[in-house]
């Protein structure tokens, strides 16, 4: 059904990433922030003030009814996504749930079914898909610029580890482990770029910041695909100095090479026709919100909205990487892994 009135969106969780989603919502004329829900009343109230004095609550069920919510963006720790998603689906509310959709494939699959059975939109916030660099790489590959893609490699190195040992991100029970928690971004990207079906995952990890860290802060994950293509995802959260950041992308096809070196605002495509620079684009959080909102409102949108099934596929890959880290083996994928 096509909506005509603005879509009333609740933002659930008011921590680090909620601000990005709120900024995006404020820029969309078809969206209205219905209110903010957080278990911590002080954080909820502060975020509601910063969002222009919208209502806030610690009670999600009451908020959905009182604020006549159409949709919600879930910005809470990973392990809370299934229960919050279930409450939204049962109340008939569309959702954009932060990545990873859940910390187990079965919980992510249950969410997909809950929303699909009710004809509701579920999307997972694989925000990197909306970043100009990622879109440019995808576009170049689908345009045939490198021919048949054979290999993708992405490196995302960061210099900070969550500073407080009470933080949920370094607690495996709440984040699912780092190969899943942030690994899903990279695993989703390379799979999307290659447009192939993953068949094998192997992960190598280190705990550079401290040996008794519960999660690996350096990871090298390799993925094998049905066509014989492969991908390497390298990521770190513990480089020194803390402020350092580094990203590099490399895609090799049978007719060309695409390379995105660090310190270059554009994306350089190296193919048989020489080198050219590819265009940029808007903020990934804005592009993501716009795409999701269009789907919620019943319009075609840009056709790039990430589905719940894509979120599930990323969880399957992240979970396989975690299992590989646990026992050192190569994991063969047998379940559903959509592209
Ligand atoms: N898309 C991206 O690029 C990106 C980047 C960072 C984080 N994330 C994801 O966003 C989510 C939130 O991460 P963050 O860094 O903002 O975390 P955070 O710890 O900064 O904030 C989480 C907030 O959720 C609240 N909360 C916890 N349980 C709740 C519940 N059951 N109901 C309501 N509120 C609850 C906490 O009080 C806190 O205010 C995670 O899933 C994370 O993986 C995504």
Would 73 be classed as within a structural domain? yes
- 172 and 214 fall within a common domain: yes
Rg (CA), the chain: 20
Tokens found for residue 68: 């006549």
Cβ atoms 316, 337 nearer than 8 A: yes
Would 1 be classed as within a structural domain? no
Domain assignment of residue 45, given as a range: 7-127+288-306
- 143 and 243 fall within a common domain: yes
User: 39-43 long-range contacts, Cβ below 8 Å, gap at least 24?
Assistant: 40/14, 43/14, 43/15
The pLDDT assigned to 339 comes to 41
Measure the CA–CA gap between 317 and 10, rounded to whole angstroms.
Answer: 29
Q: Find the DSSP H helices in 91-131.
A: 105-117
Q: Which is the closest atom of ligand 1 to the Cα of 43?
A: 39
Would 148 be classed as within a structural domain? yes
C-alpha separations of 195 from 57, 141, 220, 239, 336 in Å: 42, 9, 21, 31, 15
Kindly report the CATH number assigned to the domain that includes residue 49.
3.40.50.720
CA–centroid distance, 79 to ligand 1, in Å, is: 10
Q: Which residues contact 80 (CB under 8 A, 6 or more apart)?
A: none
The pLDDT assigned to 300 comes to 67
Would 147 be classed as within a structural domain? yes
Q: Which is the closest atom of ligand 1 to the Cα of 125?
A: 1
To which residue do tokens 């994928």 refer? 333
Measure the CA–CA gap between 47 and 38, rounded to whole angstroms.
Answer: 9
Tokens found for residue 199: 């068949």
- 39 and 77 fall within a common domain: yes
- 190 and 119 fall within a common domain: no
Measure the CA–CA gap between 180 and 316, rounded to whole angstroms.
Answer: 9
Closest C-alpha to ligand 1, atom 28: 76
φ/ψ region of 303 (left if φ > 0, alpha if ψ in -120 to 50, else beta) reads left
Measure the CA–CA gap between 84 and 192, rounded to whole angstroms.
Answer: 27
- 98 and 193 fall within a common domain: no
- 194 and 75 fall within a common domain: no
Residues with CB under 6 A from ligand 1: 12-18, 37-40, 43, 75-78, 80, 98-99, 125, 127, 181
- 182 and 273 fall within a common domain: yes
Closest C-alpha to ligand 1, atom 14: 16
Closest C-alpha to ligand 1, atom 27: 76
- 165 and 41 fall within a common domain: no
Query: Probe ligand 1: pick from 80, 98, 158, max atoms within 8 Å of CB?
Result: 98
- 141 and 100 fall within a common domain: no
Measure the CA–CA gap between 339 and 331, rounded to whole angstroms.
Answer: 18
Q: Which residues contact 318 (CB under 8 A, 6 or more apart)?
A: 100, 176, 179, 180, 181, 183, 184, 187
> Among candidates 169, 158, 174, which has minimal Cα distance to 234?
158
pLDDT tens, per residue, the chain with 339 residues: 677 899 999 999 999 999 999 999 999 999 999 999 999 999 999 999 999 999 999 999 999 999 999 999 999 999 999 999 999 999 999 999 999 999 999 999 999 999 999 999 999 999 999 998 899 899 999 999 999 999 999 999 987 776 677 789 999 999 999 999 999 999 999 999 999 999 999 999 999 888 888 899 999 999 999 999 999 999 998 887 777 778 899 999 999 999 887 755 555 666 666 676 666 667 899 999 999 999 999 986 677 789 999 999 999 999 999 999 999 999 999 865 544
CA–centroid distance, 77 to ligand 1, in Å, is: 4
> Among candidates 105, 294, 81, which has minimal Cα distance to 187?
105
Kindly report the CATH number assigned to the domain that includes residue 176.
3.30.360.10
Query: Probe ligand 1: pick from 42, 77, 134, 158, max atoms within 8 Å of CB?
Result: 77
The pLDDT assigned to 247 comes to 87
The pLDDT assigned to 263 comes to 59
Would 236 be classed as within a structural domain? yes
Domain total for the chain? 2
Cβ atoms 336, 313 nearer than 8 A: yes
């Amino acid at each position: 059904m096509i909506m005509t009135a603005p879509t009333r969106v609740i933002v659930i969780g008011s921590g680090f990433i909620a601000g990005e989603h709120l900024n995006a919502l404020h820029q969309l004329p078809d969206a209205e922030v219905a209110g903010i829900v957080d278990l911590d009343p002080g954080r909820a109230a502060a975020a509601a003030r910063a969002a222009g004095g919208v209502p806030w609550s610690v009670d999600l069920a009451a908020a959905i009814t009182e604020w006549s919510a159409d949709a919600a963006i879930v910005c809470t720790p990973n392990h809370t996504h299934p229960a919050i998603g279930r409450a939204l689906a049962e109340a008939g509310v569309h959702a954009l749930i932060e990545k990873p959709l859940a910390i187990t494939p079965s919980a992510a699959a249950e969410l997909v079914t809950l929303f699909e059975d009710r004809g509701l939109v579920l999307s997972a916030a694989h925000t990197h898909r909306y970043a100009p660099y990622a879109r440019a790489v995808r576009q170049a590959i689908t345009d045939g610029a490198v021919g048949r893609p054979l290999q993708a490699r992405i490196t995302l190195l960061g210099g900070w580890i969550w500073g407080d040992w009470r933080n949920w991100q370094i607690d495996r029970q709440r984040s699912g482990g780092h190969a899943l928690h942030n690994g899903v971004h990279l695993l989703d990207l390379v799979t999307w770029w290659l447009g192939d079906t993953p068949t094998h995952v192997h992960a190598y990890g280190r705990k550079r910041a401290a040996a008794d860290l519960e999660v690996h802060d350096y990871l090298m994950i390799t993925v094998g695909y049905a066509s014989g293509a492969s991908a390497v995802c390298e990521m770190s959260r513990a480089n020194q100095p803390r402020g350092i950041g580094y990203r590099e992308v490399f895609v090799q096809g049978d007719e060309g090479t695409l390379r995105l070196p660090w310190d270059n605002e554009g994306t350089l495509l190296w193919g048989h026709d020489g080198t050219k620079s590819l265009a940029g684009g808007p903020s990934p959080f804005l592009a993501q919100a716009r795409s999701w909102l269009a789907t919620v409102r019943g319009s075609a949108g840009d056709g790039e909205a990430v589905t719940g099934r894509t979120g599930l596929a990323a969880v399957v890959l992240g979970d396989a990487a975690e299992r590989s880290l646990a026992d050192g083996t190569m994991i063969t994928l047998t379940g559903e892994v959509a592209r």
